[in-house]
């Protein structure tokens, strides 16, 4: 949970453990951390639990990458495309299309969404099986190959000071254990209340802007185009990532 008790202009903080006291109908998922702490994360399963989390001052929600029955085996691999100054969102769009090209060539279905901020997130639905570290290993290998293929635009350099200017970081490290990204449809703490919105590849090619999708226009968009991230929940069409280990 990313909590903004004093609004978007105030200080925020991250909180993993479901606070107490809490309603007995809030479901939790216990995840053991390397520190030895057993953290009971809240599970947003319905409208009531969503409103409860929002009432804690949460704006964007950052979900785990696996379901509670097996928290160490993800249901997707993802890349966070993050611009290095002075790169623009147009550069991020170009980077996303290069990533799509790479994934398409190795027969991997991928689904993009805006981050709601400056970047783009790209998700690949996978069959449950590989452990989190194995998913991270594959993501790193792919990111390095993408950066080597498009050195004028992409970088996989994780050290901030060594990243080349006006490049787009293909951030594979968000696949590491315990890392999370703003979930699909999350509102972000911006003055326009931008939303992390799923988009079609054709829309990226056509030139969408980072601020096109907001809390006010998102309901109408979903009514018009449907849920473009629905395939991430389907059992069919998932990649067997073990072939890439």
CA gap 81, 133 in Å, rounded? 20
Domain count, the chain: 2
For residues 151 and 240, state if they share a domain.
Answer: yes
Query: Tell me, what's the pLDDT at 117?
Result: 94
Residues 141 and 22 in one domain: no
Residues 47, 163, single domain; the answer is: no
The CATH code of the domain that includes 190 is 3.90.920.10
For the chain, residues with pLDDT lower than 50 are: none
Domain that holds residue 97: 76-244
pLDDT reported for residue 232: 93
- Give yes or no: residues 117 and 225 share one domain: yes
CA distances (Å), origin 81, targets 30, 122, 205, 212? 30, 8, 16, 18
Whether the bond into 86 is cis, omega within 30 of 0: yes
SS3 113: strand
Report how far residue 130's alpha carbon sits from residue 73's, in angstroms, rounded to the nearest whole number. 6
For residue 78, what pLDDT is reported? 98
Q: How far apart are CA 187 and CA 213, in angstroms?
A: 10
Residues 51 and 89 in one domain: no
Same domain (yes/no): 106, 225: yes
178: phi > 0 → left, psi -120 to 50 → alpha, else beta; which? left
pLDDT tens digits for range 58-86: 999 999 999 999 999 999 999 999 999 99
Give the pLDDT score at 197: 98
31/99 same-domain check: no
Q: In this structure, are 52 and 93 located in the same domain?
A: no
Quick check: is 64 in a domain? no
- Residue at a domain's end among 32, 59, 86: 59
Residues 235 and 170 both lie in one domain: yes
Report the C-alpha gap between 245 and 137 in whole angstroms: 8
Residue 70 lies in a domain: no
Q: In this structure, are 27 and 133 located in the same domain?
A: no
The answer to whether residues 15 and 53 belong to one domain is yes
pTM of the entire predicted model = 0.96
What pLDDT was estimated at residue 65?
Answer: 95
In a domain, 197, yes or no: yes
In a domain, 120, yes or no: yes
Q: pLDDT at position 96, please?
A: 98
- Residue 76: per-residue pLDDT: 97
- Domain for residue 66, yes or no? no
In a domain, 169, yes or no: yes
Tens-digit pLDDT profile for residues 90-125: 999 999 999 999 999 999 999 999 999 999 999 999
Question: Residue 244: its pLDDT value, please?
Answer: 92
Among 190, 186, 208, CA closest to 199? 208
């Amino acid at each position: 949970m990313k909590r903004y008790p004093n609004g978007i202009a105030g200080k925020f903080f991250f909180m993993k453990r479901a606070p107490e006291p809490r309603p007995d109908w809030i479901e939790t998922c216990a995840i053991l951390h390397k520190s030895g702490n057993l953290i009971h994360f809240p599970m947003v399963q319905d409208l009531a639990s969503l409103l409860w989390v929002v009432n804690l001052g949460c704006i964007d929600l950052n979900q785990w990458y696996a379901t509670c029955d097996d928290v160490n085996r993800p249901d997707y691999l993802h890349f966070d495309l993050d611009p290095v100054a002075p790169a623009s969102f147009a550069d991020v769009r170009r980077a996303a299309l290069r990533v799509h090209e790479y994934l398409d060539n190795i027969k991997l279905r991928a689904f993009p969404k805006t981050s709601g901020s400056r970047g783009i997130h790209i998700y690949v639905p996978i069959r449950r099986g590989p452990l989190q570290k194995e998913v991270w290993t594959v993501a790193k290998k792919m990111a390095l190959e993408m950066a080597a293929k498009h050195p004028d635009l992409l970088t996989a350099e994780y050290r901030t000071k060594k990243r080349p200017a006006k490049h787009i970081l293909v951030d594979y490290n968000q696949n590491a254990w315990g890392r999370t990204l703003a979930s699909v449809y999350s509102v972000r703490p911006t003055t326009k209340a931008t939303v992390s919105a799923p988009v079609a590849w054709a829309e990226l090619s056509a030139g969408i802007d980072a601020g096109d999708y907001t809390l006010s226009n998102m309901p109408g968009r979903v009514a018009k185009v449907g849920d473009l991230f629905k395939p991430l929940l389907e059992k069919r069409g998932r990649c067997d990532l073990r072939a890439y280990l």
